[in-house]
């Protein structure tokens, strides 16, 4: 969709809605997250199915049709989005100042978050701009994972998101955005090749299309997890299916929170991790 | 002039700098002093919602400003977590970190500014935390939380008045109401306004806001707002503390108020007791024992009147601890005996008593005291301290088996580290190293294990590795352990011949803890190395101390300094006669003998020097080994014993010694330049302990 400038009509009031907007500017009707709307197009889905079925065929010839089916089912039923984040961000996510201060929002208001346009500007001309156009700044990044494991290179804490909280606003890309833009030599105005992205319900097809050739017999969930998410603790080597969540999330969207192992942590990070996990455990208790 | 702009996230302390449209942005982490230059930082950037645009005259200036902003945001976030409630263990760790930050990175007022962004939902929580901080000796944090609690009644009225401001009053302001509130908070104006205590003072302070306001209509608007707020906050023109007191009365329920008044009394008592403890410590350190005893009697008399005698016991234990640091075990014992007279049923007092007995070589009595502590409910600490006594006596296997009596010892990091320490002390360095590595894999924040590894690296001559490890320890360690590990780092710096750097650190410690004997000993040794033996001796101009583990260092360094000043007889008195009664380990004993051997070498008494050197056992410490060989070489040179000379020289060559002073000593000895060799030997001995 990146900056194609196309528009569609609001099903409610029939006014024109830019494809990068979620709500109709006239009646505020919710058309759904723009990243999901784009990928849900029939051409995009057909291209993805074609790639995935080709992999199913190859696996059948290799005698691994049962394994690839199991892998596909596992991703479809069990996979979720995991977002890695620095310990301080996780700590912040679980500590709500509104619970500590009275009248906090009223006093501090929107001035608290003066999002820097500079960051967003940069995104617009950068990778996310190529993939998402003007709403690139609204995208939050994660990975598709079968377990609560995330990428260690991006933080100390992994948050597994609740499916219900994100499934209508998440889309998936076959690899990390930067690698994808490089591999397909995307430039402003270049169309994004079809069949490399998926909505929530087709994420298993994307996984098969990407990893089908690597499926062998006898693999279990642990092996598939390692295939789905290669966490080498090195941003250049890490390999994963990237999740794009439209707009931000709160702690209520988090299902599980764990510390990522193997990172060397200083005192501040350790403290942040412990606070985040302790507070999140309390939040989970309250949910029950 | 062009301003430098960037995007800033105080939560993670990251600064996103865009130098040009063609270049990828740089992400610079303020606290860690590292930079990323990866477009993949998208993942990081996108999850943080607190990006702000910031600007300054230059990048350097911006980083300087943001450093304080980062620490203020961090400390405020931690304080918010505390106020929201944490488990006991985590609460202490967070309070400690807030204390560290307020001591090293920003003024407590800056942090207070952040915490008065809105009134607290549960103000008594601040008071409870203040009390807890005081109990842990985090005095800066205690004061900060107490101030926060103190400001709550007026802050609540101020915030209510602010929210009720009529919109026509705020219409002409340049900033939105929320933005203006944030300005008041961030710039410390709100704190000052809450402290003024009278309407005229309030208006005077408020008028300072007008200066920075260029728009006349906005100035008029601000003046009106100021008058309105002053009227609401200080309804009478004769407004004094009573009004504020009334506010507090209205705000607090009567029971809260009673509690708060009790807290005030308790806090005043605590501060007064702390001052008295400091005065007693000063008197003991300067040898004014009569004065110290008088102060002590006064303090105990006041505290013993209270129904809760635990304060008197705590004060006595506190003074005893300070006395232990200055090697005044006699006064330490006096305090502990008094405390036992007040309440022998205090488990921690029994543990401290057991530790005292251990340090003074009364091992059996020490074990009995620890058994008593175990019966009083502190069994784990008691078993652990008992094991330490066995290790101190060289009974390493017994020490290990004692540690292994602790239930679930294998899953307790502290016990595992203690066992690894025993391996290290008995010379099983590889075993100790393996165990430290296992511990670090399971508990990566256990800095004592890194310190153990650093000690091994030091003993094996890998000094850069030891230094790196100690830097890591200091990064991870708790405040209370920092001094001791800083001194350990100084020893490594000394071995690396980075004497000035080590001197700066020890000097800093002495500024903070003037009576700490270990720091004074190290500073004296460093002064000896830096060519100022006389000043070093002044540092150690204190009376002899009663026998206690570690006291030999006092005589060792004093002896070396006297030797350096050619005061041979006095030096020998210190190095030989005085140390005969001191308590020390086998390793300590080796160094003392080497010091004594040098004294005899300088006096041309080769037989005595040779006799002493012959009694030195095989050492695991690379440095002591070299030192022994050098002094043996010295004797051989003086006796013109070419066979032995050759043997020792070859032995040293085969070791591929990297220490430049050792190489220099061999070089000078082989060439018969004995005075230069003695200078090197002095350096080696000063650096050894």
What is the spatial distance between Cα A193 and Cα B284, in angstroms, rounded to a whole number?
81
* Dihedral sign for Cα atoms in the order B399, B402, B406, B410: positive
Between B14 and B472, the higher pLDDT residue: B472
Give me the residue label for tokens 């995009």.
Answer: A44
Beta carbons of A116 and B31 less than 8 Å apart: no
For residue A111, the model assigns a pLDDT of: 40
Q: How remote is the C-alpha of B593 from its chain's centroid?
A: 33
A271 close to B (CB below 8 A): yes
Chain B residue with CA closest to A271: the answer is B94
Burial class (CB in 10 A: 0-12, 13-18, 19+), A252: exposed
Q: Among B97-111, B305-319, B360-374, B405-419, name the one with the lowest average pLDDT.
A: B305-319
Reported as a pLDDT band with limits 50, 70 and 90, residue A5 is low
Q: Which residues of A touch B81 (CB under 8 A)?
A: 91, 95, 275, 279
Query: pLDDT category, B261, cuts 50, 70, 90?
Result: very low
A119, A259, A262, best to mutate vs chain B, most B CBs in 10 Å: A119
> Which residues of chain B from 84 to 103 reach within 8 Å of chain A, CB to CB?
84, 86-87, 90, 93-94, 97
Whether B9 has a pLDDT exceeding 70, the answer reads yes
Q: Tell me which of A97 and B248 has the higher pLDDT.
A: A97
Q: Is residue B514 part of a domain?
A: no
pLDDT: which is higher, B191 or B204: B191
pLDDT for position B171? 67
Average pLDDT score over residue span A242-251: 89
Q: What part of A 186-245 touches B (C-beta under 8 Å)?
A: 235
Name the A residues in 10-49 with CB < 8 Å from any B CB: none
Enumerate the residues of chain B whose CB falls inside 8 A of the CB of residue A271.
Answer: 78, 93-94, 97
CATH number of the domain to which B325 belongs: 1.20.58
pLDDT at residue number B240: 38
Q: Does the global pTM surpass 0.90?
A: no
How confident is the model at residue B250, as a pLDDT? 32
**Helix or strand run (H / E) with residue B17:** strand B14-17
User: Does A275 contact B83 at a Cβ distance shorter than 8 Å?
Assistant: no
Q: CA-to-CA distance for B571 and B562, rounded, in angstroms? A: 5
**Polymer length in residues for chain A:** 288
Q: What pLDDT digit, counting tens, does each position of B587-632 carry?
A: 777 888 888 899 888 888 888 888 888 888 776 677 888 889 999 9
Q: Do A270 and B445 touch (CB under 8 A)?
A: yes
- Return the number of other C-beta atoms located less than 10 Å from residue B608's C-beta: 17
Q: State the pLDDT at residue B579.
A: 59
Tokens for B586, please give them: 């086998």
Q: What is the pLDDT of residue B39?
A: 47
Distance from CA of B25 to the nearest CA of A (A): 8
> In this prediction, what percent of chain B has a pLDDT beyond 90?
17
Q: From B476, B101, B41, select the one nearest A264 (Cα to Cα).
A: B476
The span from the CA of B627 to the CA of B682, in Å, is: 10
* Structural domain of B58: 4-118
| Residue B278 shares a structural domain with residue B367 | no
Q: Does the pLDDT at position B450 exceed 50?
A: yes
How high is the pLDDT of residue B172? 65
Total domains in the fold of chain B: 5
Give me the mean pLDDT over the B345-361 stretch.
87
Same domain (yes/no): B114, B9: yes
**pLDDT value at A189 more than 60:** yes
Alpha-carbon gap, residue B452 to A196, rounded angstroms: 52
Higher pLDDT: A142 or B289? It is: A142
Mean pLDDT score, B420-429: 90
> For residue B199, what pLDDT is reported?
81
**Do residues B322 and B382 share a domain?**
no
Are B216 and B279 found together in one domain? no
pLDDT beyond 60 at B41? no
**Alpha carbon of A211 to those of A182, A237, B285, B573, B649: distances in Å?**
20, 16, 73, 80, 66
Please report the pLDDT score of residue B265 as a whole number: 59
Residue B12 has its nearest CB partner, among A86, A97, A103, at A86
Q: What is the pLDDT of residue B60?
A: 83
Q: Residue B429 falls within a domain, yes or no?
A: no
Give the per-residue pLDDT at A57.
94
B43 touches chain A (CB under 8 A): yes
B243 and B338 together in one domain? no
Mean pLDDT across B201-229: 81
Flag whether pLDDT at B67 surpasses 60.
yes
Write out the two tokens for B189.
Answer: 């104006």
CB pairs under 8 A between A and B: 167
Under 8 Å between Cβ of B529 and B680: no
Q: What is the per-residue pLDDT across A67-88, written as a single tens digit (0 to 9) for each?
A: 999 999 999 999 999 999 888 8
Q: What is the pLDDT of residue B477?
A: 83
For B132-187, the pLDDT digits (tens) are: 888 887 888 988 998 898 888 889 888 888 888 877 777 666 677 788 888 889 88
Residues B681 and B632 in one domain: yes
Please determine, for residue B413, whether its predicted confidence score (pLDDT) is greater than 90.
no
Q: What is the pLDDT of residue B35?
A: 57
Answer whether B86's CB lies under 8 Å from B466's CB. Answer: no
In a domain, B486, yes or no: no
> Mean pLDDT over residues A120-130, rounded?
56
Domain membership of residue B650 (yes or no) is: yes
Min distance B618 CA to chain A CA atoms (Å): 38
Nearest CA in chain A to B16: A119
Do B206 and B299 belong to one domain?
Answer: no
Of A84, A113, A271, which is closest to B50 when you measure between CB atoms? Answer: A113
B675 assigned to some structural domain? yes
pLDDT tens-digit series, residues B489-537: 999 999 888 988 899 899 888 877 777 888 888 999 999 988 888 888 8
Q: In chain A, where are the structural domains located?
A: 32-287
Residues B261 and B362 in one domain: no
pLDDT bracket for residue A110 (50, 70, 90): very low
Overall average pLDDT of the B440-454 stretch: 91
Percentage with pLDDT > 70 across chain B: 85
pLDDT number for residue B251: 32
Whether pLDDT at B48 is above 60: no
pLDDT value of residue B581: 59
Task: Give the per-residue pLDDT at B308.
Answer: 65
Handedness of CA A185, A186, A187, A193 (dihedral sign): positive
Alpha helices in B234-346 (DSSP H): 241-251, 254-285, 289-305, 310-325, 329-342
Q: Which chain B residues are Cβ-neighbours of A152 within 8 angstroms?
A: none
Q: What is the pLDDT of residue A145?
A: 95
| CATH assignment at residue B357 | 1.25.40.10
Whether B292 is covered by a domain: the verdict is yes
Helix (H) or strand (E) holding B130: helix B123-135
User: Which pLDDT belongs to residue A163?
Assistant: 95
> With an 8 Å Cβ cutoff, are B47 and A109 in contact?
no
Contacts of B117 in chain A (CB under 8 A): 97, 101, 104, 107-108
**CA gap A70, A68 in Å, rounded:** 5
Q: Which two tokens stand for residue B72?
A: 């203020």
The mean-pLDDT minimum among A183-192, B416-425, B593-602 falls in A183-192
Residues B210 and B111 grouped into a single domain: no
Q: Which of residues 145-174 of B touch A (CB under 8 A)?
A: 156, 159, 162-163
> Rounded mean pLDDT of A17-43?
89
What pLDDT is attached to residue B544? 58
Per-residue pLDDT, B112: 94
Q: Which residue of B has its CA nearest to A263?
A: B444
Q: In whole angstroms, what is the distance from residue A209 CA to residue A203 CA?
A: 10
Query: Average pLDDT for residues A94-105, to the nearest whole number?
Result: 77
Phi then psi for residue B128, to 5 deg, are -60, -40
């Amino acid at each position: 969709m990146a900056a194609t400038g196309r528009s569609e009509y609001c099903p409610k009031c029939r006014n024109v809605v830019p494809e990068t907007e979620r709500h109709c500017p006239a009646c505020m009707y919710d058309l759904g997250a723009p990243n999901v709307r784009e990928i849900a197009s029939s051409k995009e889905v057909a291209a993805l199915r074609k790639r995935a079925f080709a992999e199913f065929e190859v696996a059948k010839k290799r005698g691994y049709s049962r394994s690839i089916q199991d892998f596909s089912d596992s991703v479809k039923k069990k996979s979720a989005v995991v977002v890695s984040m620095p310990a301080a961000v996780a700590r912040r996510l679980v500590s709500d100042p509104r619970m500590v201060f009275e009248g906090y929002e009223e006093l501090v208001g929107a001035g608290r978050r003066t999002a820097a346009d500079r960051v967003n500007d940069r995104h617009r001309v950068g990778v996310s701009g190529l993939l998402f156009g003007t709403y690139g700044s609204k995208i939050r990044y994660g990975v598709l994972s079968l377990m609560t494991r995330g990428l260690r290179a991006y933080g100390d804490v992994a948050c597994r998101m609740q499916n219900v909280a994100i499934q209508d606003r998440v889309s998936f890309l076959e690899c990390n955005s930067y690698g994808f833009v490089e591999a397909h030599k995307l430039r402003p105005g270049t169309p994004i090749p079809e069949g490399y992205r998926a909505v929530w319900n087709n994420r298993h097809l994307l996984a098969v299309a990407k990893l089908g050739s690597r499926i062998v017999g006898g693999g279990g969930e642990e092996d598939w997890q390692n295939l789905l998410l290669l966490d080498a603790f090195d941003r250049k080597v890490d390999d994963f299916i990237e999740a794009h969540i439209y707009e931000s999330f709160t702690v209520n969207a988090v299902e599980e929170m764990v510390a990522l192992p193997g990172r060397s942590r200083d005192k501040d990070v350790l403290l942040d991790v412990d606070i985040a996990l302790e507070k999140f455990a309390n939040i989970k208790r309250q949910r029950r | 002039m062009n301003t430098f702009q960037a995007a800033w996230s105080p939560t993670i302390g990251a600064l996103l700098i865009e130098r040009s449209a063609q270049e990828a942005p740089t992400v610079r982490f303020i606290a860690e002093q590292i930079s990323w230059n990866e477009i993949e930082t998208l993942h990081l950037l996108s999850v943080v919602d607190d990006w702000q645009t910031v600007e300054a005259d230059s990048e350097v200036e911006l980083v300087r400003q943001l450093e304080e902003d980062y620490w203020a945001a961090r400390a405020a976030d931690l304080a918010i977590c505390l106020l929201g409630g944490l488990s006991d263990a985590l609460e202490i760790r967070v309070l400690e970190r807030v204390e560290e930050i307020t001591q090293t990175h920003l003024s407590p007022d800056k942090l207070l500014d952040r915490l008065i962004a809105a009134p607290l939902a549960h103000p008594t929580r601040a008071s409870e935390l203040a009390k807890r901080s005081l109990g842990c000796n985090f005095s800066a944090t205690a004061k900060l939380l107490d101030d926060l609690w103190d400001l709550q009644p007026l802050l609540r009225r101020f915030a209510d008045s602010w929210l009720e401001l009529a919109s026509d009053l705020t219409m002409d302001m340049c900033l939105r109401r929320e933005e203006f509130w944030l300005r008041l908070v961030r710039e410390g104006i709100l704190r000052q306004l809450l402290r003024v205590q009278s309407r005229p003072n309030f208006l005077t302070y408020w008028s300072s806001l007008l200066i920075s306001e260029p728009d006349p209509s906005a100035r008029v608007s601000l003046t009106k707002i100021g008058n309105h707020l002053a009227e609401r906050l200080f309804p009478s023109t004769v407004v004094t503390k009573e009004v504020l007191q009334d506010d507090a009365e209205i705000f607090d329920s009567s029971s809260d108020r009673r509690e708060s008044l009790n807290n005030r009394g308790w806090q005043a008592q605590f501060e007064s007791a702390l001052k008295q403890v400091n005065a007693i410590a000063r008197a003991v350190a300067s040898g004014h024992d009569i004065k110290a005893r008088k102060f002590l009697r006064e303090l105990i008399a006041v505290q013993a009147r209270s129904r809760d005698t635990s304060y008197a016991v705590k004060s006595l234990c506190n003074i005893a601890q300070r006395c232990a640091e200055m090697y005044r075990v006699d006064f330490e014992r006096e305090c502990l005996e008094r405390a036992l007279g007040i309440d022998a049923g205090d488990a921690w007092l029994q543990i401290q008593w057991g530790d005292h007995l251990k340090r003074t070589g009364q091992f059996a009595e020490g074990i009995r005291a620890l058994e008593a502590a175990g019966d009083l409910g502190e069994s784990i600490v008691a078993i652990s301290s008992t094991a330490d006594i066995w290790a101190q006596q060289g009974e390493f296997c017994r020490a290990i088996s004692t540690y292994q009596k602790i239930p679930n010892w294998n899953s307790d990091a502290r016990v595992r580290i203690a066992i690894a320490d025993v391996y290290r002390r008995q010379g099983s360095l590889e075993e100790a190293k393996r165990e430290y590595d296992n511990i670090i894999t399971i508990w990566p924040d256990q800095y004592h294990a890194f310190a153990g590894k650093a000690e091994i690296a030091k003993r094996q001559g890998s000094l850069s590795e030891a230094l790196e490890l100690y830097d890591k320890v200091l990064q991870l360690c708790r405040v209370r352990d920092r001094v001791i590990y800083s001194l350990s780092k100084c020893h490594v710096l000394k071995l690396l011949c980075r004497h000035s750097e080590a001197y700066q650190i020890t000097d800093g410690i002495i500024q903070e803890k003037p009576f700490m004997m270990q720091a004074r000993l190290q500073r004296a040794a460093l002064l000896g190395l830096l060519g100022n033996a006389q000043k070093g001796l002044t540092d150690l101009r204190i009376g002899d101390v009663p026998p206690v583990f570690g006291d030999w260092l006092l005589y060792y360094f004093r002896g070396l300094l006297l030797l350096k000043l050619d005061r041979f007889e006095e030096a020998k008195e210190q190095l030989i006669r005085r140390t005969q009664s001191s308590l020390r380990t086998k390793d300590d004993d080796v160094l003392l003998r080497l010091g004594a051997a040098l004294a005899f070498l300088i006096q041309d008494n080769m037989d005595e020097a040779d006799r002493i050197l012959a009694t030195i056992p095989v050492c695991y410490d690379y440095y002591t080994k070299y030192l022994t060989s050098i002094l043996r070489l010295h004797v051989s040179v003086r006796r013109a014993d070419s066979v032995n000379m050759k043997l020792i020289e070859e032995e040293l060559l085969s070791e591929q010694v990297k220490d430049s002073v050792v190489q220099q000593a061999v070089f000078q000895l082989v060439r018969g330049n004995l005075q230069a060799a003695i200078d090197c030997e002095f350096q080696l001995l000063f650096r050894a302990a």
